[in-house]
Structures are given as structure tokens and as C-alpha cells.
Structure 1
Amino acid sequence: MATLTHDKERGVRLEVPYIHHSDVEQFKNAERWFETATPPKNLTFTTKDGIASLFGCRYSGHTMNFGYGYAAGYITPEEVVLTPREGDTAAALAVSELQSELDGLSEWTRFHAIKHDRETNSEGRIKKVTVTAESLESLTWQQGEAEMNLTTSWTTKPEPSGFHVSEWIALKSSFATHRPTLEHFKEQRKVAALLKLNFGRPLYFRRHQIRDGLFPDRAMNGDHKGTSFHEYVGRRTFRNFSQPVPTEKDLGEPIFYLAQVGGEGLTHWNDNYETWKRFIDPVVSVLSRHGVALEDVVVSASMSIEAAGNLIGHVTGEQATYGRGRPTTATYAFRVIAKLGLDFTGIAESSTGMARSMANNYNTIKHYNRGEFPDPLETYIVGHVAMLAVRLLASTLVDPSGQLAQEYVSAGKFDSFKNDLKQTELYVKDSGSFEKI
């Protein structure tokens, strides 16, 4: 007998009771696992309700009651699939398809699987509602060796008061051969990074399923019935499941929607990803956490801007930001601002001044010998400007023409952004200093 549990802090854990120094073979095996801290790498957990396949198992401690000989050992699997696997039981987990549910996908894709049709009587009262659930909308693109897909998916669940139908958008990665789930997550996290930058907030994976020929569906007599998706839980993402779910308001203003870029834009994002990784990673890291300090936002966004400034290269007018004839931190900020064509009229005397203020604030936070941290209101302004600049610049990796960033500005969203910053009653001078207005 054993118990398989899952909680938001430890993930999946297997508890195995056994008798210490017993002559029973099953207890001898368990005792050997825990006394030597070497349980089998893979295990199969069987219950009356089904079978779970455990992969990458590692020893997580054991306890003993010496008076009675009772003991319990603990095993933590790296990955769990809620169905049996066929083939080599000792082989590491590798699958051909992994699909995930990710915050923001429904709002970003605007795909829908559920449609409602209503019929009314002569008095205008609803007399009939027809609900159709069907997976029709889909988009496929290539990311290296992986074929990526976004598609509508839906589930049904009977309830005491009726019948519940829910829809979700599945992000799927497929390879021609079995691959470790780490390779699937590597490709899916590229999409997750893009969404975090696009919405400017933390977003989390909520569910994973795998599909592979080694996990077939079989009838009671053993006949093959096909291959469907099966639930997967892994240590890389299980903590995501308990994170706060973003509200409709949280997801109300992305830089762009999927329909504006299509599969071609997602291919551009992938093609640019490795070159621009030092730009992408710092800000995505800070966007993956709730309750981040203003100073952390400035440091992470500024690291991204430094990387971007080096990749962008020389732009007209940057010499004003040089120090001793060489580019400075302000130069890299200026390059990003210039590439995006942002006009800070109303909150700053010039783009040069804004770039200098960003550099001054970042360097004062970063270097211990700069004295006290900057005024929080100044850090608030710099953090918001730097973060928006990074998010807009990320859109140019999806659409190299820069049209997405231009549309954001022309739609009045940048003016609204500046109006919000005006509430601080601070103005950035050409020198990079702030003055009260």
C-alpha cells in the first residue's frame, strides 16, 4: 500500500509504508530503497480508479518507529502522467505532444469554441437556447523542429443543477519523435514570454496534457482504441497552478492581438528569440512575479534595455548621451527610445533627458556607493517608462516593420500613459534631473 498526494507547496509525493527489518519481500524492497536513498527512477502507482506513471523519482526522506518496526519512506517524482505507459519501464519520459493551458491565451487569440443561439417567442422572451461546443479555430506555425499550435478546446461536466460546458485555448507543441518534456516546455515558454511582455503582467500555466503512442487508450480486452491526451503534472510548473488568476481587467490592454500578427509573427518571434534572449529574459523574469518592488522593475527593465541598445547599434543623435566620447547607459536607453519613435513631450524636456533620467535612476539603484535610493516617485516614472519601452520593443521582434508599436502610439494609448505619469507632478529636464511642476 502507498499514498500519492499533491499539494501546492511540495507537488506530487508518494508515501510508502513498510516494516523495518521484515522478512516480507515487498517490505525488503521498500527498506532497501529508503535505507540506501535509491528508489527506482520510474514507478507505476495503481489504484481502483486508475494508474499513474511516475518518472524521475528521487528519495525525499523516511521515518521509523523503532519500538514497533513501522516505517514510512517518501518519494518525489519529477513528472507524473495519469495513465500507464507501455514499453521500457526504466526509460525516461519522452513524448511527441504536449498541450498546455496558459493565462491570457483566450483574450489574446479571441478564439471561441462555444456558440449560443437563442430563439424568442412573440413577446420577446427566450424560449430556447442552443449551445454548440466545437473546436474550429486554430493556428499552426513552426518553431525549429517543433510544430506549434493554438486551438480551441472544451470540456463538459455534469453538475447537480445542470450541465457545465467550459472552453479553453490549448497551446500545443509537437515533435516528429519522442522528446523530453523539457524540450516541449522550452518552446512553449517562448510563447509564454511573449504573452507576459504583451500584457505586461504575470501569467501562468494552469494545466498540461501529453499525447504519445506509448500511452495508448485500450479497451478492457486490450484492444487499441486510439491515442488521446492524458493529464500531466511536473515539478517545473506545478506551483503555477495555485497562483492568482488574472482578471478580465488585468488582460484588457495588450500591445497587440494574435490576429494582427498571425503565424508569421510568431515565427519572427522564434527566429529572433536566441539573439535577443539577453533582452527578453530579465524583464520576463520580473514580469513572472507578483508584488515586485519598483527598484526591481527598474533594474530588470534596464538590463533588458542595455542588451537591446547593444543590439540596435548606433542611432542619430546619440552622441549627446556619450561620456568621454563613448556610449553610456543613457545611450542604450536613447537608442531604444529612438527606434520606437517615442515622444515624451509633456513629461520630459527631451528624449535625451528621459534617457539620462533612466540611466541615472538605474545606476543609483545598482551601485552601492551612490548613496540613498532615488525618490520613489522618480523610480515609479522610470520603471513605467522602461517597462513600456521594453514591451513595445518586444513587439518589433514579432513585426519587424514596427507597425505594432506605431499603432499603439497612434491609438492614443501612449498619450494616456503619459497623462497617468503627469499625476506625479514631476517633469524630466534635459539634464536627466526631475523637477516639481
Structure 2
Amino acid sequence: MALNELEEGVTHLGMLVDGLDGTPWLAAVLSYSLDSGVSIELPYIDHPDISQFEHVRQWAKAQATPSNMILQARDTDLSLFGCRWGGHTQQLMRGLAFMRLTVQEVVLAEQQGDLSEPLMVDRARSHMDGLAESTGLTAISSKHGYDEETGLIRSLHVDVESGEGLRWTQGDAEMTIDMTWQGHHSHPGLEVMESAVLTSRFPEPRPFEDHVAEHRKVSNLLAFLFGCPIGLRRHQVSDQRFARSMGDTKTYNPWVELISRATQPDRKMPPPTPQQLQQPLAHLAQIGAVGLSRWADRWEEWERVILPTSARLRRTGSTVEDIVLSSSLSLEAAGHLVGKVDGEEDTYTRRKIPSTSTYVLRVLADVGLDWSETAASLVGLARGVANNYNDIKHYDRGRFPDGVHSYLISRVSQVLVRLFLLKRIDESGALVEAYGKSYPFTQLKEAFAAQGKFLDVDGHFGPWPR
């Protein structure tokens, strides 16, 4: 029976094959944990008279191992890529030693071909948080049959079919989001589980890390749309090196499970709550193929805006001060991209050069929403964001700002970064305009009234005007 997942705390005993001529196979144990990923432990005798383990002794001496190996275990053969020496222990009196290896990527299938070749795959796909919620795709449709006399439901017809998904290009990669499903029928019921998957394909097989880099761009976009951490939860790959036979001549390339150390921190993150995934700034279907391609194509240009807030969104339990600092870094970069706007001279320093509030004002002007319930003017709101940021950042500003003030500024500054990026993706501005009429934006502004706070033209907090 094939193995479809590695469970935390479950070990797999097998024989380790290094693919080199003349070296004996070794007994080894594979283990997996959310903290340390996949590791291999193998016992050996560390004694010069025991030639069977001479190659392992050399691994320990050089603190290096063959990069790629196979573990032939009870359930399946596991292909190991990016194996690295992770330490060893030794019992001197007995000569018994244990070596530990870390593994960069594990494919839950036996690979074909030369073990020395690096992992290159034709297609890769990821399951990630919020993907289904952001597309609105479903593989399930149903139709009820009614009794005309009683009005009662007498039949239910359910169709489950993977339809046309969302497709676009990211550089050299072709990207798709599709719905997959699995059905299980047992008396007295039928269970259908569906999920959305993101798939990448390059013209030629590429390292798995290249696929993940493209997937990460999409997960970062979802984090901005939802305003919460978005994790890559599972991966699968399809390539001829993992082909299976269908008789004498026919073969097919199934999707096989892959566990990557590069995305191990994602698997540790708690998933978003259903409430966090209810009200994104926009849905991927609204952004469309053109917007998704633009997000990827302009990534390097917008990187200084994206990364500070993206890194913060991936951290759970951030303080409001942390949010203000990271968002303000993004806003300064965004202000440079926007360029000069009307009236910004009011925010210049005494030396008549742009200040932090200038860059915030530029973003406020670019986004173009009504903030009159939070501040006396856009200049006042820009100064309020800049004042709070500088009061947190600079040692000589005395005590930290009032926590309520930082809370309100953190909400404003973070949504401003998100809206700036949405405006870049959807150049028509329609999606930002729609958000300006939404309940979440109304809630944000009402938070000022709820706290009895209002920013004056100088960016100082005062009482809410009754």
C-alpha cells in the first residue's frame, strides 16, 4: 500500500541506498516532525576493522554525504533529495555510532534514473490557506427535485466534476488554480472532499524551489488580500522520473507527495480562522489573469513595499507597534513609487524636503478614499501615521505612544499598504473603490469613534467631534 503522507511522530524503518557502486546498503530510520522536518538516523560501527561501514565513517569524517538517496521502507520507497550531515553520536566503549542526516525534500515515491541528478520536476502544485475562498471555485453542483403537490424535496442530483479553473502566466511559468476532489461512498452516506490547488509548469523541468518561488508570490498576494498569515500546507509533483507503468509500454506521471524543508515553517503555522477568510479586499476571480500576471511581473519593483508587511503578516501574535513599524516601512517605499502629489508641500520638513508624512500622504492620495471620519484632513491623517511611527522608532521621543493611538494607526497603516498594492494590480481602481464602500472599511473608520479619538490637522489625537 502506497504512503500518501508523513505523520508526525511516526517512524519508517528501511534500507538506505546511496546509488554508488560497491557501497553496502544501510539500515536507517526516517522520522518527521513539525519542528525539524524530515531527518534520517542510521546506526553503524565506527571501527577501522569493520570495512562494511568504511564509507559511513568517511561521511562522518568529512561531515558530508551523497546528496540524493532512496529509503526502501515497508510502505513505499522514499526519494530523498538534499541530504546533509546533521551530526553524530558515538559510544566509544562499544564502537557503536549514530549518524543523523537532514533532508531538504522527500518525495513519497521511488525515482527513476541517476540518483546523482538534482530534483527537477515538470509540474508542482501546492495546497494553501484561503485559495478556495479567494476563487469561489467549486467542483460540486446540485439540483433538487420537488414534489409539486406537497412542495417537499423528493430527489437530489449531485454532480462532482473538476471544471475550468483560473489560468495565467508568471514569467516563464504557466500557473493554474483548479479544484480537486475525492469521493468516498459507504452506507449510509456519500462524502465528497474538495480543495483548491495551485499548479505551476515551466517549459522544461525546473528545481522544485523554482516552483515554490512562484507559489510563494501567490500566497503573499493572498496574505495581503485577507490580511492574515497564509501558509503553504502540502505539495505534490508530477514528472517522468516518478512515472509508473501501465503495462508493457504505457506509463503515466501521477501526482506524488513531496515534503520540503523550505516550507516547513508554513506547516507549523496555525491555519487562519473562517472569520479571517470571510472578507478579503478582493477575490482572485476579480483580479483575473491580467492582474495576477502583473503582480508577479512587477514583484521586484514593488518588493520594498511587499516584504516588510508580508513578513509581519506571517508572524502571529504581533504587537500593534510591530504592525506600525513594518507597515510604515512599506508606506515609505510606496510613497517613493507614487511620486509627487498636490498639496504635499504642507508636509515637508523645515529644509523643504519630503518627510515621512509626505510619503504617507502620497499613498493616501493615490488610494483616493474618504477618511474624514478619522482625521480633519488627509494631511492630518498622514501626520498622525508618521508621528506614531517616529514616536515608536526613535529613542529620544520619550515614552511609547498611547496603546489606543497605536492600535488605530496600525489598522490604518496596514490597510493602506494593502490598498496601495491592490491599486497597482487593478489599475482601473474599481476594486479599491469598491472596498471604500464596504463594511470592513466602515468598521475601520468607526473604530476611531468607538475609541473617542480624532486626528487634528497636525496629526495629534484629540476627542472625537460630537
Name 1:105's counterpart in structure 2: 131
What is the rounded CA distance, in whole Å, between the counterparts of 1:131 and 1:30 in structure 2? 58
Deviation at 1:421, TM superposition (A): 2.8
Give the letter aligned to residue 420 of structure 2: L
Q: SS of the residue aligned with 1:167?
A: strand
Give the superposed CA RMSD.
2.1
Contact map agreement 1:312 1:335 (CA 8 A) in 2: yes
Structure 1 residues 189-218: Cα deviation after superposition (integer angstroms, max 9, x where no partner): 111111100111111111101111222112
Matched, 1:286 2:312: yes
Alpha-carbon distance in structure 1 between the residues aligned to 2:217 and 2:344: 32
Distance across 2 between alignment mates of 1:162 and 1:39: 51
Residue 151 of structure 2 corresponds to residue 151 of structure 1: no
How is 1:124-273 mapped onto 2 (pairs within 5 angstroms)? 129-156=156-183, 164-219=191-246, 223-273=249-299
1:216–1:224 Cα contact (<8 Å) kept: no
The residue identity in structure 1 corresponding to 2:73 is T
Structure 2 segments unaligned to the other structure (5+ residues): 1-26
**2:5 alignment counterpart:** none
User: For residues 429 and 436 of structure 1, what CA distance do their matches in structure 2 show?
Assistant: 10
Deviations 1:7-66 (A, max 9, x none): 000000011112222755543333332233111111101112211111111111112222
The answer to whether 1:313 aligns with 2:339 is yes
Secondary structure at 2:259 match in 1: strand
Aligned residues: 436
Task: Give the secondary structure class of the aligned counterpart of 1:92.
Answer: coil
Q: Tell me the equivalent position of 2:409.
A: 382
1:340 and 2:359 correspond: no
Match of 1:13 in 2: 39
2:13 equivalent in structure 1: none
| Higher alpha-carbon deviation: 159-168 or 410-419 | 159-168
Moved more, 419-428 or 351-360: 419-428
Q: How has the CA–CA distance of structure 1 residues 267 and 233 changed in structure 2, closer, same or farther, with 3 Å as cutoff?
A: same
Deviation at 1:159, TM superposition (A): 7.6
CA gap of 1:157–1:27, structure 2 versus 1, over 3 A, is: farther
Report if aligned partners of 2:411, 2:444 keep a CA contact under 8 Å in 1.
no
Residue aligning to 1:407? 434
> Does the aligned pair in 2 maintain the 1:16–1:30 contact within 8 Å?
no
Taking structure 1 as reference, are residues 97 and 309 closer, same or farther at Cα in structure 2, changes over 3 Å only?
Answer: same
Percent sequence identity over matched residues? 38
Residue number in structure 2 paired with 1:356: 383
**Matched residues in 1 for 2:186 and 2:409: separation?**
50
Given that 1:42 and 1:56 are in contact with CA atoms closer than 8 Å, whether structure 2 keeps it comes out as yes
**AA in 1 matched with 2:36:** R
Deviates more, 1:321-330 or 1:269-278: 269-278
Instruction: Kindly provide the amino acid, as one letter, of the partner of residue 74 in structure 2.
Output: K
2:66, 2:195 → 1: CA distance?
36
Tell me the residue number matched to 2:23: none
Question: What TM-score do you get using the length of structure 1 for normalisation?
Answer: 0.94
What is the deviation of 1:258?
2.1
**Cα deviation code 1:289-336 (max 9, x no counterpart):** 111111110011000100010010000111110112111000000000
Cα separation, partners in 2 of 1:8 and 1:413, compared to 1, 3 Å: closer
- Tell me the TM-score normalized by structure 2: 0.89
Matches of 2:258 and 2:459 in 1, distance apart?
51
Does the alignment pair 1:71 with 2:97? yes
Contact kept? 1:11, 1:239, Cα under 8 Å: no
Shift of 1:163: 5.5
Q: CA deviation at 1:265?
A: 1.4
| Equivalent residue, structure 1, for 2:456 | 429
Q: What is the one-letter code of the residue matched to 2:292?
A: L
Q: Give a deviation string over 1:250-287, Cα, whole Å, max 9, x none.
A: 11111111222211111221232211110111111101
SS in 2 for 1:21: coil
Q: Distance in 2 between matches of 1:432 and 1:95?
A: 54
Task: Note if contact 1:111-1:137 (Cα within 8 Å) is conserved in structure 2.
Answer: no
Q: 1:327 maps to which residue?
A: 354
Q: Is the 8 A contact 2:121 2:207 kept in 1?
A: yes
Letter in 1 for 2:205: H
Letter of the aligned partner of 1:375 in structure 2?
D
Q: Which whole-Å deviations, capped at 9, do the CAs of 1:208-245 have from their partners, x for residues lacking one? A: 011112221125x7754201111011111123223222
Work out whether 1:58 is the aligned partner of 2:88.
no
Alpha-carbon shift at residue 246 of structure 1 (Å): 1.6
Conserved 8 A contact 2:39-2:102: yes
* In 1: Cα distance, 2:52 partner to 2:255 partner: 33
Closer, same or farther: CA 174–125 of 1 in aligned 2, 3 Å: same
Contact 1:206 1:240 in 2 (8 A): yes
Aligned in 2, Cα 1:239/1:411: closer, same or farther, shift over 3 Å? closer
**Residues 159, 249 of structure 1: CA spacing in aligned structure 2 closer, same or farther, 3 A cutoff?**
farther
